[in-house]
Amino acid sequence: MKRIWMVLLLAMAAIAAQDTKKAETQPKKPVVQRLFILKYADPAQVRELLTVFDAAVRQSPELHAITVEASPEAMKAIEDAVQKLDVPSATPKNVEMTVFLLVAADAAAAVGSAVPRDLDSVVAQLKNAFPFKNYGLLDVINFQTRTGQTVHVSSSGGSLAIGSRQVFMMTTMTINSIALQSDGNTLRVDRLNARFAVPVATGPTGSDQYSTVDLQMQTDLDIKEGQRVVVGRLGLSRDQALFLVMMGKVL
pLDDT, mean of each 10-residue run, the chain (251 residues): 51 56 61 92 87 92 91 93 84 91 84 90 94 92 92 90 87 92 86 92 84 93 93 88 95 87
Regarding whether 222 and 209 lie in a shared domain, the answer is yes
pLDDT of residue 18: 59
Q: Same domain, yes or no, for 169 and 80?
A: no
Q: Please indicate, yes or no, whether residues 246 and 151 belong to a single structural domain of this protein.
A: yes
Residue-wise pLDDT for 23-73, tens only, equals 555 566 788 999 999 988 888 889 988 999 999 999 988 889 999 999 999
pLDDT attached to residue 27: 61
Contact 147, 92 (CB under 8 A): yes
Residue 20 counted as domain residue:
no
Are 77 and 122 found together in one domain?
A: no
Q: Cα–Cα distances in Å, from 240 out to 33, 103, 107?
A: 61, 7, 9
In a domain, 215, yes or no: yes
- Burial (0-12, 13-18, 19+ Cβ within 10 Å), 180: buried
User: Does pTM surpass 0.85?
Assistant: no
Residue where a domain terminates, one of 45, 70, 90: 90
In this structure, are 232 and 184 located in the same domain? yes
In a domain, 133, yes or no: yes
Whether 111 and 169 have beta carbons less than 8 Å apart is answered as: no
**Same domain flag for 147 and 244:** yes
Are residue 145 and residue 243 in the same domain, yes or no? yes
With beta carbons less than 8 A apart as the criterion, state whether 213 and 160 touch: no
User: Which H or E run contains 12?
Assistant: helix 2-25
Query: What residue ranges in the chain does DSSP mark as E strands?
Result: 32-37, 55-60, 65-70, 94-105, 134-146, 151-162, 165-180, 186-201, 210-224, 229-237, 240-250
What confidence score (pLDDT) does residue 7 get? Answer: 46
Q: Quick one: 80 and 124 in the same domain? A: no
Q: Is residue 232 part of a domain?
A: yes
| Cα separations in angstroms, 28 against 23, 24, 150, 250 | 10, 9, 43, 50
Q: What are phi and psi of 227, to 5 degrees?
A: -80, 145
Same domain, 123 and 168: yes
pLDDT at 207: 85
The verdict on residue 110 lying in a domain is yes
Here the CATH number for the domain that contains residue 36 is 3.30.1370.120
Verify that 116 and 49 share a domain, yes or no: no
pLDDT attached to residue 234: 93
Same domain, 239 and 129: yes
- At residue 5, the pLDDT reads 47
Query: Domain residues for 69?
Result: 32-90
144/219 same-domain check = yes
